[in-house]
Structure 1
């Protein structure tokens, strides 16, 4: 039986390199990412992100927000409220 584990995502803003995102798997391996996903339907989300991130596009604030955020002018992670999540999901669904 496999032991239970978690996937951790570490977000931060480096003064020299800018925003940084690292994903740590249950075995302790960590990798830097431009965008990533974890959990249910992870592979589908990663495939979507790979298509969107192809050619290193620049996204607006509204295009990148999904569940939580860290901004350079306020470098503290905060989870979005249910109303904010619903607003963003509605905007995403209307695009497709």
Structure 2
């Protein structure tokens, strides 16, 4: 299905600017997430998941997998991604 609309040039330019701004923001966010290590500390994990530290503690209590080696806790990106998938509605 094709829909044709005529809009004023300034409106079209505004839409292009907003789309570009949104794409740049998404690209920067993806870059920050990719820069994080595979096994993250708690602060990095909260940043990766886009949540607060308190929410991260709640998620751990709900079953988020944590690697604990000699008292050092790390959470993998895969564990976070899996946790999100397990809690989809």
Q: Same fold (TM over 0.5)?
A: no
> Which is helix-richer, 1 or 2?
2
Q: TM-score, normalised by structure 2?
A: 0.26
Q: Which has the larger radius of gyration?
A: 2
Return the structure number with greater relative CO, CA threshold 8 A, min gap 6. Answer: 2
Using structure 1 for the length normalisation, give the TM-score.
0.25
